[in-house]
Chain A
């Protein structure tokens, strides 16, 4: 596992998300006005433009919307190929880009996945997803 991924540039808007991951919590947002779930973090609802946004803990379950097996990567990821990057649609309806952990031959679109918290460094955790029915 590559542990040299540079830390993203956090800001006030994103800090709760990244801090939540360090505590093994996947946080998304919800608009209090139109009730739509929101990811990535924002100060305004992209659906109704309300500023009444609250954080909530996501179920951490979802399914694969699409994926690719990366054979040619750049920068800090160069030595790590092949690896699987996917878009996961959470049960809450929002989509996230992520790493899919699992056997290449088992990974398919629409398969169910569960979040795993991948510690990269002491204060940097990424939400990866693994196949729900894999051991």
Chain B
């Protein structure tokens, strides 16, 4: 394993989650940011770099910095969809390594449930070649990938359902999770069909919510209140924007981002104790596990069978209940980081993975378009 320590995550927090009709996106981000800085023992005046992603303002960083009263010398609004926040962590580490700043605040906030903005019809630029056919943007695109995977490898709806069921088991252990009643495979298969082969319970939630992650240089991390969670590796990649232009519907750019992250961290797949993997849909998880090299191409269905990723299974994954059962306010990536950090600090209570030392976090954005992998570890 890499022994050089450059930057660490020193604070994480969620805002109110679920249905939050009384808070706007700025309030949600401020609430999470304050809690994350508090647990680190830092203040807003320690922050010298601000990272956010969202479509709630023409220039979100400007609005957010003004609202929070934060003056920054570095600003990054990289938006590659749900994986943006894993990208932000990588970019923050690079900026710290270059000596550009010491404390980066990464935030996200969304009122996706209270004020749904998706699925409005407008078809300019490259959208004009897809929108007229009525594909329900995100779920339809993932359904095309799932159908192809089934055709090519014989993957079944039961195998996809394994992911939803295992993830719900974790959610039953998490008081903050939105959906906590247990489900079984037949519940998933009998839920309403949305876009074949994906059922309602193959799809993530639509919630409100926000989160914050504080990344600090090694020097700052050594004097913060919490045990530092070191950023050991990072990689990112994107392969397409529209689903029609995905080179191979069964292979995501997690193959590239994952390889870079593992190389940087200097560890192998079997050293990962806990995995937090973007689960916008059950198929997202299967494709990601394959592309990250946890199994061979086409073997994702087999890999997750027998509730392997559930509590007590030998591959603990999405231990907060995931986007499928805990929360999913549009761009979910920041919540993967929050849970991985809590697992490595042994703060995950009933859902704690015994003695977790190394965590893999993988964000997927767009329609399987972007990938960003972060590997975290504690001393």
Residues of A within 8 A of B (CB): 2, 5-6, 8-11, 14, 39-40, 65-77, 80, 83, 85-87, 95-99, 108-110, 120, 126
- A97 to B120: give the CA distance in the assembly, Å: 19
CB pair A10–B129 under 8 Å, yes or no, is no
CB pair A71–B192 under 8 Å, yes or no, is yes
Rounded to whole Å, the gap between the CB of A11 and the closest CB of chain B is 8
User: A71-B192, A87-B243 known; 14 other A-B pairs, CB under 8 Å?
Assistant: A5-B132, A9-B123, A9-B124, A11-B125, A66-B145, A67-B144, A67-B147, A70-B140, A72-B194, A72-B195, A74-B121, A85-B135, A86-B144, A97-B129
Known: A40-B126, A69-B195, A109-B151. A87 touches B144 (CB 8 A): yes
- Dominant secondary structure at the A interface: mixed
Check B345 for interface membership: any CB of A closer than 8 A.
Answer: no
CB pair A73–B136 under 8 Å, yes or no, is yes
Residue of B nearest to A68 (CB): B143
Choose one: B124, B133, B148, B245; the contact of A99 (CB below 8 Å): B133
Give the total number of A-B pairs whose CB atoms are below 8 A apart: 111
Residues of B within 8 A of A (CB): 119-137, 139-140, 143-145, 147-148, 151, 192-198, 242-245, 249
CB pair B134–A83 under 8 Å, yes or no, is yes
Choose one: B137, B147, B198; the contact of A66 (CB below 8 Å): B147
Which residues of the other chain, A, contact B122 by a CB distance below 8 angstroms? 9
CB pair B244–A95 under 8 Å, yes or no, is yes
Residue of B nearest to A5 (CB): B132
Which residues of the other chain, B, contact A9 by a CB distance below 8 angstroms? 122-125, 128
- A6 to B127: give the CA distance in the assembly, Å: 13
Which residues of the other chain, A, contact B197 by a CB distance below 8 angstroms? 68
Which residues of the other chain, A, contact B129 by a CB distance below 8 angstroms? 8, 14, 39-40, 96-97
Residue of A nearest to B122 (CB): A9
